[in-house]
Amino acid sequence: MKSKSEIVEVKALPFAAGFNWSTGFQMQRFIQELANRKILGAKCPECGYTYVPPRSRCGKCYTKIGEENLINLSGKGTLVGYTTAYVKLDGQGNFQDLEEPGIIGAIKLENADSTIFMPLEGIKPRDVTEGLKVEVQWREETKGELADIRCFKPT
């Protein structure tokens, strides 16, 4: 057991970390195609499970998924779950109240099996129901970044 004199208490330190990582060719293609307002999925050649964002190996049957297995998805889908957020992080680790509650939807795109989690706008939280048909809303100028998908809205 340590004596009290050996315990160093640190209340806070400034901390910043930068990262570089490879997203792999599937994710790279996915992000590039967002500039063309296209959402790519990866369909497993063995079991047919379709992932969005695409991935290079099937999590169901472990089959390799190649570039030839990338498919275009329509950007339309169904809400299969959601949560309502009343606060956001301010970038300093503190919560701030949102002026209006925000909805984060779990969305299953047409012809995809996995779900994506995206902001849902254009509907009040009390009116949201699972099974709602939704459609992607692109930001005005798409640049090949994840932020090209602004949100989803009910159709």
Q: Which residues bind Zn ion (CB under 5 A)?
A: 44, 46-47, 49, 58, 60-61, 63
Measured CA to CA, the distance from residue 54 to residue 39 in angstroms comes to 10
Q: Write down the least CB distance from residue 47 to Zn ion, Å.
A: 3
Q: Write down the least CB distance from residue 33 to Zn ion, Å.
A: 22
User: How many C-beta neighbours within 10 Å does residue 50 have?
Assistant: 20
Q: Write down the least CB distance from residue 29 to Zn ion, Å.
A: 19
CB nearer to Zn ion: pick between 64 and 143: 64
Q: Write down the least CB distance from residue 56 to Zn ion, Å.
A: 12
CB nearer to Zn ion: pick between 49 and 82: 49
Amino acid in position 63:
T
| 14-48 as b/e: b if 16+ CB within 10 A | eeeeeeeeeeeebbebbbebbeeeebbbbbbeeee
CB nearer to Zn ion: pick between 61 and 146: 61
Measured CA to CA, the distance from residue 130 to residue 110 in angstroms comes to 15
CB nearer to Zn ion: pick between 58 and 112: 58
